[in-house]
Amino acid sequence: MNNQLIFIDQCKERVGAKNLAVELSELLGVNVDAAYRRMRGTTALTFDEIQKICLRFNISFDSVINYQGRLVPFQFNGMFRDKFSILNYLTGIEQELKMLSGMEDSNTRMVMTAMDLPYFRQFGFKSLSRFKLFFWQRSVLNLDEFIQRKFDAEDNMGEYEEITDRIYKNYHGVSSTEIWAPETLDSTIKQVQYYLESGLFVDKQSAHMICDDIDSLLTKLESEAQLGRKLIQTKEGTISSPFEMYQSDIFLSNNCIQAFKDGRTYTYVSFNSFNSLMSFSPHFSDECNRWIEQIRLKSILLSEVSEKLRYQFFKSLREKLEGLRAIVN
């Protein structure tokens, strides 16, 4: 596939259900037939046209010219830029999960290593979700409006809750393979402990509610591992998808997510607490896939089989949770 067609494919991903030919026609000031010729590669794009398209659809041309090279282009949403918004960040996650959701086939799926508790999971539990959103904005981004506040699990976070609910639902519609570790809960437990020791909870009840949510999350996760399917009931009906869960006793050095759709691989590598770099470079994605596969092959399959080992894994996580409860009390 030549570079222009790769470039056009990226444009198609950005416009979604819209007609790309019409979009290009208006953007470049050409008729629709001329736009189609550019989409087919029969008419070469000029430098000025490429520049307009990159700016309009937020595409880095490096991602095209380095498609098979050693240099790897990434997309990221800088946290400390003036226009950064957690709401916009979450909207991007929602759109990406929606693209994958409801397509139950071997070619559309998600694979992840869970060094930390995946936010896809925690968004289904109100107190835990509110705590994470508060923690990110107060303790990671240091937003002025949060500096003087303490966390109250009863505080409704408005539109944040609506979008996290949608993320949680879409996550359940995506077939996934997840590699968890005994350390997966550690960062969340340390965050709660830090807030306790710093007097950043309105009252102990808020910390108790977070513990209760973590317990409920583990119960749901264990049940889904036993069934080999993620499952939730919504107003619209049941949302379900295949689920493979592994336990790795090798320390997972990062949260890595790979999404597979239409023959393409999207690789997300975490950094700066909750943000991620994304690349669909085949070379980089293949390297990450090989690393994940090596971890998986050395891990224990907990879904559907390994009843004893599954019980022991979740027992160890609950023991950590009980240690946190003891600190709260």
pLDDT of residue 1 exceeding 50, the answer is: no
CATH, domain range 3-65: 1.10.260
Q: How many CB atoms lie within 10 A of CB 241?
A: 21
Question: In this structure, what DSSP letter does residue 201 have?
Answer: B
Q: How many CB atoms lie within 10 A of CB 157?
A: 15
Domain ranges of the chain: 3-65, 86-328
Predicted confidence (pLDDT) per residue in 193-245, tens digit: 999 999 999 999 999 999 999 999 999 999 999 999 999 988 888 999 999 99
pTM of this prediction exceeds 0.85? no
- As a whole number of angstroms, the distance between CA 14 and CA 8 comes to 10
Q: What angle do CA 198, 206, 148 make, to 5 degrees?
A: 45
The predicted pLDDT at position 196 comes to 95
- As a whole number of angstroms, the distance between CA 304 and CA 73 comes to 39
Which tokens hold the place of 128? Answer: 């835990």
**At how many degrees (to 10) do helices 126-135 and 204-227 cross?**
120
- As a whole number of angstroms, the distance between CA 163 and CA 184 comes to 24
Q: Are 269 and 254 in contact (CB under 8 A)?
A: yes
328 contact partners, CB below 8 Å, separation of at least 6: 192, 196, 204, 207, 208, 211
Predicted confidence (pLDDT) per residue in 140-186, tens digit: 888 888 889 999 999 998 888 899 999 999 999 999 999 999 999 99
Longest CA span, the chain? 70
